Amino acid sequence: MKNIAVLGATGLVGEEVIKILEQRNFPLKELLLFASERSEGQIISFKDRELEVLTDCNELVGQAEIVFGCLDSPLAKEIVPKFAEQSVVIDNSNAFRMDPEVPLIIPEINSEKVNEHKGIIANPNCSTIQMLVALYPLHKKAKVKRIFVATYQSVSGAGKNALDELRYEFEYLSMGHDIEKAEDAVFNHPIGNNIIPQIGDFHDQGYTSEEIKMLNETRKIFDDESIQVSSTCVRIPVYVGHSEALSVEFENSISPAEAIEILQEAPGVKVFDKDEIYPMPIKAVGKDAVLVGRIRKDLAFENGLAMWIVADNVRKGAALNAVQIAELLL
């Protein structure tokens, strides 16, 4: 039995981590919670206990063997190293993912790397997790060569304020008003009744940080620098659940029937193999599995498949993957 700490306990991912720890009956002695000063005095229920959220993280340093980092990257860079000296931190931010000394883990793929840490284990990006959980079993069979992916990502990926923004804009639209971007808005443009083809800041060659993550993280997790990934990441007016349209070229031949058979046996995957029945975000909310459907031969590649992938981005795309890593540590 170990002490467990959650940094960022009142955010979407932190709250989901706490919920999953309870649902999976994670063996812990004490649960310690930290959040910013905005959460001062807040109480969170866990099992039969009422836990106070602390707002001074220094009080928790060295008090827990496993720490879940659910902070944004700037704060994670500052706080996580303090804990990593005496604890194992499973960090959900982008701060340490590409550090060569930090393992980047999806338990269904590279669980053997869990003990290679030096105090920090990185949780991959939500869009990368769901894509690779579905692709890895096929990669073992036919070896992925190129991936072309368009993501349709829910606003929950941008946090609680983004959810509030979408609710407000939907309400405003329902009254017949036009939406104007507020000065403190989460997104650069209105998201209600709209889609925004930008997630993250723009970098070289016109790609955003989210799109670059999908390339770099895929190569690191698959341990293959030759894999090519071209992505377009889009924010859509959906509360929870990311969707992805994939076109994948393999080095070796693989048929849709073979892919379906492989994925039906794959851990963490649920297959929809009927034309009229396919995954949708509304079916993914609260589910542990990555949902895969519309598996078909890609008409652009000789050794290619096209498919549609959906998952709960807050759950498997963040919190559940982190808890599964903690279970490996035990």
Tokens 């939907």, residue?
170
Q: How many CA atoms lie within 13 A of 228 on its CB side?
A: 9
Q: Environment class of residue 176 by beta-carbon count within 10 Å: exposed (0-12), middle (13-18) or buried (19+)?
A: exposed
Is 233 a residue of the active site? no
Q: Is 107 within 8 Å of 324 (Cβ atoms)? A: yes
- Which listed residue (57, 70, 117, 126) is catalytic? 126
Which three-class secondary structure state does DSSP give residue 228?
Answer: strand
What is the residue whose two structure tokens read 């883990």?
A: 105
Give DSSP secondary structure letters for 279-296. Answer: --HHHHTT-SSEEEEEEE
Residue type, 7: L
Beta strands at 2-7 and 66-69: parallel, antiparallel or unpaired? parallel
Check if 57 is active-site. Answer: no
Tell me if 310 sits within 8 A of 281, measured CB to CB: yes
Q: Which of 175, 301, 271, 191 is nearest to 239 (CA)?
A: 191
Active-site annotation holder among 57, 70, 233, 242: 242
Residues designated catalytic: 126, 242
